[in-house]
C-alpha cells in the first residue's frame, strides 16, 4: 500500500474551538500551499496551521483524501 505523507508546508484553516477545518462543498479538507493565501481566507476564530499540526483524526482524514 502506497501511503501519502503530509508536509508542514501544506496549510489548513482550523477552528480549534469547534475542532473543524475548512472543507470544500464535497467535504474534502482544503490544503493551501501558501500560508499568506490561507491567511486571506481566515475568518473569526480560525487560524492557519501546518496540516502536520492537526489532531491525528484530521491528519488521517487528509491522508485518506489524497490516497
User: Residues 3-49: pLDDT tens digits?
Assistant: 678 999 999 999 999 999 999 999 999 999 999 999 999 998 999 99
Does some domain include residue 60? yes
Q: What are the residues whose beta carbons fall under 8 Å from the beta carbon of 21, sequence distance 6 or more?
A: 12, 13, 14, 15, 29, 30, 54, 58
Question: What domain range includes position 59?
Answer: 11-66
Give how many domains the chain has, as a whole number.
1
Residue 4's pLDDT is what?
Answer: 79
Does residue 5 belong to any structural domain of this protein? no
Q: Is residue 35 in a domain? A: yes
- For residue 67, pLDDT beyond 80: no
Where residue 66 falls among pLDDT bands split at 50, 70, 90? confident
CA distances from 21 to 2, 10, 29 (A): 25, 13, 7
How confident is residue 1, by pLDDT bands cut at 50, 70 and 90? very low
Amino acid at each position: 500500500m502506497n501511503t501519502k505523507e503530509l508536509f508542514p508546508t501544506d496549510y489548513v484553516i482550523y477552528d480549534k474551538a469547534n475542532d473543524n477545518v475548512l472543507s470544500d462543498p464535497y467535504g474534502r479538507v482544503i490544503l493551501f500551499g501558501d500560508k499568506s493565501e490561507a491567511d486571506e481566507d481566515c475568518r473569526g476564530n480560525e487560524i492557519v496551521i501546518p496540516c502536520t499540526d492537526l489532531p491525528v483524526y484530521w491528519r488521517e482524514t487528509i491522508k485518506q483524501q489524497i490516497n
